[in-house]
Structures are given as structure tokens and as C-alpha cells.
Amino acid sequence: MKKRALVLVIAAVPTVAQAEPDDPGPFAVQTDEYGFGDAAFFPESLAGVVELRGVIHSPVDLDEGPFPIVVVLHGRHGTCYDPDGPFDDPFANVSQEWPCGSNHEPIPSYHGYDYWAAQLASHGYVVVSIGANGINAADGEADDGGAQARAELIEAHLELWQSFVDTDEFGTKFNDAADLQNVGLVGHSRGGDGVAAFVARNAMRTEPFGLGGALLLAPTDFTRIVVPDVPLAIMLPYCDGDVMDLQGVHFFDDSRYAVPGDATPKYVFTMDRSNHNFYNTVWSPGTFALGGAFDDFEIPEIVFEQLDSHCSVAAGGPRLGEAEQQASFVVYASAFFRTHLGHETEYVDLLRGDADPPAAAAAAEVRTSYMPPDDPASRLTVNRVAAAASLQTNDLGGMVQGVDLSTYDLCGVGPRGGIENYQHCILAPNFFMGELYEGREPHVPGLAHLGLAFAGESTWVNALPEGTDASALSYLQFRAGVDFEDPAAAAGAVDFTIALTDRAGVRATTTLQSWTDALARPPGDLYPVAPKLLLHGVRIPLAAFVDPTAGDPALDLGDLATIELAFDAGAGALLVSDLAFVDAVPPPPGGTDTSGSESGDADTNGDADTSGNADDSTTGALGGTSSSGTEGTTGPAADDDTGGCGGCRSSGRTPGALWSGAIVLLVRRRRRVVSCATA
């Protein structure tokens, strides 16, 4: 993201080097495990037995607590492996059984996030990653992909932690160590669906746990669960070969206006050059060679018999390695939870897309979308682009016009804004095995996209009613993406003029590329998976329109008349949504901070233990069954959480077997996606 410095200088302040979110913290870290056996839990929504097992990373000095607690749930993957091999094929010795047979060992997918758990724990957090192999062995035909069973499992672990914290039933080590009214959740793949289901389940509890943030990593979205009233982050790996349609973006799309007055922000982080599996070290072949770990982008390569110029390693695509991809996750996951559980403020700009990522995440070329809380102090929605009527009238009642545009229409929804009779954004949607399968339009169905194509000078104008006052807000923002199929689509990054006009007729302008290069043609060419019509956030500081050096007359942000996108820099084609003024103007230096839920004290976790940040300085066991064997080691893991892919990956890696597995994957996921779209 490119930034332009403003001329305005308020005050000279000393510069202090800002710690990066992936830096180690001041607390020494210890690791413990607890386990109650492979058949300790029986979910009501799914037949089968499930383990109650978790690995804990926490500060050594628990007396400094209670600390925020983060629960991590992995996705669908193979459950068991044969320790005798063979190891030259990642699928030959993997099974989808539970409990494991006499000659098999559990695949420790729950250990796949240890690298991040230790880092966050060093900043004063209790991080618990829980096992879900029993659900993975039984969810193949579940209509919701096992989402409710995973929600039940999260609840069971949090109730167990209530005992750890408040009683001596399982010892006293964690008494008062974790704050169950300040809970964070991470769900990877089907685990993301499970976290979303738990948010809904928790809201119905008589005594709900206090949820401070939910991060869904490459999630499936089989049932279109809405996730309001909790800070929500969706992380989408652009080269996901498992959830290859990036359906998890629906959690953001569906939640952003779902509940009036929702006081919590929503984010999407699109991670370029990244796949599905490498966020979990047990699903990554470089760190877990015992079975089931592989580069998941091989799935679409095999199914559609193509390589992708951007995402295929075999085609020389600029993909991230395992460690690089994990490093980018640490940056954004830690920034998210330290902001919303720890109430630190220094990473707010990173999360909103206003600051470039630190070096550890730079290669992921992260694109951000941000939706502020539904609060007049944080958001004035101008045109959310909800239905066909939004092409003529915006949310404030002002007239909307598309002038001299070669394309001016709506896609992604039906005429009334719902998914009934929705219009595709792709010109020729793909059919696979006789049924619709299209991975290039992740937001469809459900998100209305306004299509704007321009070959010559043309404009999109939103009139604002009298008295429209944006003077207390900081940014003009919208979401947009390049429509790569439109004949007007440019090869390079799109540029155009953004203009604000006040009621006195003063017009102030800036250009898109002065602030961002996000609106470039999306990469990839593997039909029907890439390129992708993904919308990214565009944020223009309102200070860009009020230059104190320009002299009078100055634009009056307190009485605006129009917002105009003026396409005057060549041909192009865009899809647009969510035009708004956002973010309260920060207080002057030394003033009182009233910015809302994203603000807070720099560190509310107590005095730091400065004894070091050593990872895994102590190891222990807790619970009915002491952890041992493969669970006692941390290491790589392998991911198999696409719709049913885990079951098919147990076969040998012959071309026919991979074809069969990938086809089963698509059939199962396609069935669920279509049913969600027509529900």
C-alpha cells in the first residue's frame, strides 16, 4: 500500500521505535497439556466419540493473571497415521478413523499452531489449542460439515477451563489464571465454521462467556452463520487450494450490517501467495513428514488439469514458503488479539489497512477490508450498495447517478438484494460434473457488487442531503475490486479521481493511487479458480481534501453535497460496495481518547515478567489422562479440511486416486455451497 504524507503538522513529538506485533513479549512461557481420553466427549449433533485434549501455552508466572484466554480449533484433516510408514507418499499411511487402530497414532493437528501460541503467550495470554480428530472422523456427511459439533467442543473446553480457574478439581495451577470474560477464538478451515457456530451458541447461554474477538482462518462457510457483536477477522489465503472459492468471506459480508447498533469492528485480511495448509505446521510437509501434509493447491491443479501462473509452485508462481506464511499469520493474529483482548492501540492502523505490514508479513502483500462499529461516531454509511435501488438512491436518501459509464449494473444478489434469482458477477460461470462450481467470485451469492466500467471520462456520483456532516470522521472508504472480465479492464492498476464538493460549491480532489495500489488486476489464470473477483478496502483520509496550504476557500466537511468517483485516467472496470465516511477524528495530543472499542490502555495485562521469553520453559500434564507419545511433541501438521477431502486423502497418491479424492472434495463442498445459496 502506498502512502502520501500530509502537509498538516499538529505538533512535534518524540519518535519512539514501535514494537512489531510479532516481536516476543516480556513473559517467559511454559507449555502444558491436558487429556481425558479419546472418547471423553459425545457431541449431541454428531454421532461418534471425541477426545477432550488440549495444549496450553501460558506465562510462567501465572500470578500476574488473570490473562485473556484464546482457544484455537483446527480444521478437517486425516486423524491417524501409521508410524511405520510408508513416508514417501503423504497419503498412503493416513486414515480417517477414531479412535486410532492398534497400529496407528493420532495426527496431532492441535499442535500445529504452537509457533504462534508461544509468541502470543509471551505477551500475557493463555492460549489453548484443542484436538478435534473425533469430529473429523465423523463429519463427512454432516449437513453443516460438523460446525455445531465443533461449537459444542469449544463450549466443553471452556466449561472445563471454568473448573481449572475456579476449583481445585484438577489441581490449582490455573486457579485465577485465565479471564473467561475475555475470550478469543481462532478457527482454521472447518474450525472457522465451528467458531462461528459457537459465537451463536454462546449468545444463547444463561451465563455466556465473554467473547472479545474471533479470527476465522481460511474458513469454510457451509450454513451462512452470521457473526455479530464480536470483533471479527477473516483471513483468506489467495492461493487456497482446499477452500478454493474463499467462501469464508461471507462471514464478513453477511455480518457487517446484520445487527443495527453492532458495536464491534469486522476485518478481512487477504493473504497473497498463501495456501490453506501451511498455517498449521502439522499440515506442512517441511515440518511433519509422517503423513497427510502437502501443498493443497495441488488439488485444483489435478482436478482441472492446469497450472496457475501465480499460485502453482510447479509453474514458478511466487508462493510463500511454510515459515513465511506462518510468520505473516503471527503478525496479524497477534495484532488482532492484542488490540481486541489486550486493548492495545498501536496496531489499530495495521488492522484497518492504514499502515504497511512489518517485514515478516510484507511478502504476503496483505489487502484489508474494514467495517467500523455501527455507531454515528465511527460510521456514516453513504451507499452500502444493497439492491438495484442503490443505483438510483443511496442510504442517506441522496440521488445516485452513473454518467457515461459503459457498465452500470448490479451483480451478486437478486433484484431485491437477496440471493433469490441472484446475478453472477462472472460472465460465464463454470459447471463441473454437471453442477455449478465457480471459484472466481468469492462474494457470490450474497454481496451486492456495483459494476462500473469506463472507457472515457465518466463518473459515479452520490448526492448527499443537506446537513451531511463528516467533520468528526477521518476517512472516506469503500470496497472495490477490478472486474478482470470486462473488456474495459486495464492491465495495470486502476487510477481515478475522488472528489468531494460542499454545499457552497467548493470541490476538492485527490487520486486513488496517491493512497493505494490495491485496485490492480487480480493474479492467476487457472479456470475456474483464479483470478478472483475480491473486493478490498480503499481508505482516503479526509485531510487529503482539506489542505491548509491551499488557501481559501477550503472545503467544508461539515456541509458536504456530493461524493464523486471521476474516471479520468484511462479505461477500467470495477466492482464497488460499502461507500462510507468512517472513524472518529482522534483527539489532539494530550486530549481525552474517546475513539471507542478499538481504543484502550496500552497494556492491561499487568506488570510483565521480565525473566525472559523462553518458549516451553516447563512442561506438565493436567487432567484425567496425562498426555504422552506424539502429543508430547510440538511440530508440523497437515491440513485436510476441505469438504470431505480428508477421507479421500487416505488413498495412495496415484493420479487416479488424487483425481477421485479431489472430485469427492468438490462434489461435497459444491453440494453444501449450492444448498447455502438457495436456502
pLDDT digits (tens, 9 = 90+) for 82-135: 998 888 888 888 999 999 998 899 999 999 999 999 999 999 999 999 999 999
State the pLDDT confidence band at 169, using cuts at 50, 70 and 90. very high
Closest residue by Cα to residue 265 from 383, 374, 180, 389: 374
pLDDT of residue 11: 33
Q: What angle do CA 419, 384, 418 make, to 5 degrees?
A: 10
Contact 521, 530 (CB under 8 A): no
323 HSE (CA, 13 A, CB side): 2
Measured CA to CA, the distance from residue 486 to residue 492 in angstroms comes to 14
How many other β-carbons are positioned within 10 Å of the β-carbon of residue 414? 16
* Burial readout 616-649 (b: 16 or more C-beta within 10 A, e: otherwise): eeeeeebbebebeebbeebbbbbbbbbbbbbbbb
Mean pLDDT over 578-586 rounds to: 95
Residues whose CB falls within 8 Å of the CB of residue 583, separated by 6 or more in sequence, listed in order: 352, 372, 378, 473, 474, 475, 595
Return the ∠ at Cα 334 (arms to 57 and 221), rounded to 5°. 95
Burial label, 520 (beta-carbon count in 10 A; 0-12, 13-18, 19+): middle
> For 501-558, how does the pLDDT look when each residue is reduced to its tens digit (9 = 90+)?
999 999 999 999 999 988 999 999 999 999 999 999 999 999 999 876 665 679 999 9
**pLDDT surpassing 60 at residue 601:** no
Q: Which fold has domain 29-375+638-678?
A: Rossmann fold (3.40.50)
Q: Which residues, other chains included, contact 159 with Cβ-Cβ below 8 Å and sequence gap of 6+?
A: none
Alpha helices, H only, 322-374: 322-340, 348-352, 359-362
Distances (CA, A) of 150 to 79, 95, 115: 15, 20, 23
Burial class of residue 496, CB neighbours in 10 A (0-12, 13-18, 19+)? buried
Residue ranges per structural domain of the chain: 29-375+638-678, 380-584
Q: What is the pLDDT of residue 584?
A: 94
315-338 residue pLDDT tens: 999 999 999 999 999 999 999 999
pLDDT reported for residue 613: 37
Average pLDDT along the chain: 85
Give SS3 for 328. helix
Please measure the distance between the N-terminal and C-terminal CA atoms of the chain and give it in whole angstroms. 38
pLDDT surpasses 90 at 414: no
Which three cell numbers, joined as nine digits, stand for 349?
Answer: 492502523
Res 620 pLDDT > 80: no
Instruction: Quote the CA–CA distance of 53 and 37 in Å, as a whole number.
Output: 7
Q: Return the SS3 of 129.
A: strand
Cα angle for residues 114, 118, 122 (degrees, 5° grid):
170
> What distance in Å separates the CA atoms of residue 183 and residue 71, rounded to the nearest whole number?
8
Percentage of the chain lying above the pLDDT 70 cut: 83
- Number of C-beta neighbours around residue 456 at 10 A: 12
| pLDDT for the residue 433 | 67
Q: Rounded to an integer, what distance in angstroms lies between the CA atom of residue 468 and that of residue 470?
A: 7
Judge contact between 503 and 551, C-beta under 8 A: no
Q: Residue 51 pLDDT > 50, yes or no?
A: yes
- The whole-number average pLDDT for the span 239-243 is 97
Q: What is the pTM of this model?
A: 0.87
Looking at the DSSP bridge assignments, the partners of residue 68 are: 179
The predicted model gives 198-218 an average pLDDT of 98
Residues forming beta bridges with residue 367, ordered by sequence position: 270
Q: Would you call 515 helix, strand, or coil by DSSP? A: coil
Q: What is the mean pLDDT of residues 439-448?
A: 95
As a residue count, the chain comes to: 679
Residue 14 banded pLDDT, cuts 50, 70, 90: very low
Note the pLDDT of residue 272.
Answer: 98
**d(Cα 491, Cα 508) in Å, to the nearest integer?**
28
Q: Can you say whether the dihedral through the CA atoms of 668, 670, 676, 679 is positive or negative?
A: negative
Q: Which fold has domain 380-584?
A: Jelly Rolls (2.60.120)
Q: Would you place residue 597 in the very low, low, confident or very high pLDDT band (cuts 50, 70, 90)?
A: very low
Question: What pLDDT is recorded for position 551?
Answer: 59
* pLDDT above 90 (res 636): no
